[in-house]
Structure 1
Amino acid sequence: MAKQPGRRIALSLPRKWIADLMHFSRHVPLVTAERRADLAPLVAAREQVPDPPAWAALFLKAYAIVAARTPALRRAYIPVPWPHLYESPESFASVAVAREFQGEPAVFFGLLRTPDCQPLPQLSARLHEFKTHPVETIRVFARLIRYTRYPLPIRRVMWWLGLNLSGKKRADTIGTFGLTTVSGAGAGLLTPLAPAATILNYGPFAADGGIDLRLNFDHRVMDGMTAAAALHDLENVLRGEIVAELEALVGVGAREEVVAEAG
Structure 2
Amino acid sequence: MTVLSVNVNKIAVLRNSRGGAEPDIVRAARACLDAGAHGITVHPRPDARHVRHDDVVALSALTRERGVEFNLEGNPFAPPRPGYPGFLALCEQVRPAQATLVPDGDGQLTSDHGFDFVRDSDALAPRVAALKALGCRVSVFADAHVEAAPGAGLEVAAQLGADRVELYTGPYAEAFARGDGTAMLQTFAAAARRAQAAGLGVNAGHDLSQANLGAFLAAVPQVLEVSIGHALISEALYDGLDATVRAYRAITDRAAS
TM-score of the aligned structures, taking structure 1 as reference length: 0.26
Larger Rg: 1 or 2?
Answer: 1
- Which structure would you say has the larger RCO, counting Cα contacts within 8 Å and 6 or more residues apart? 1
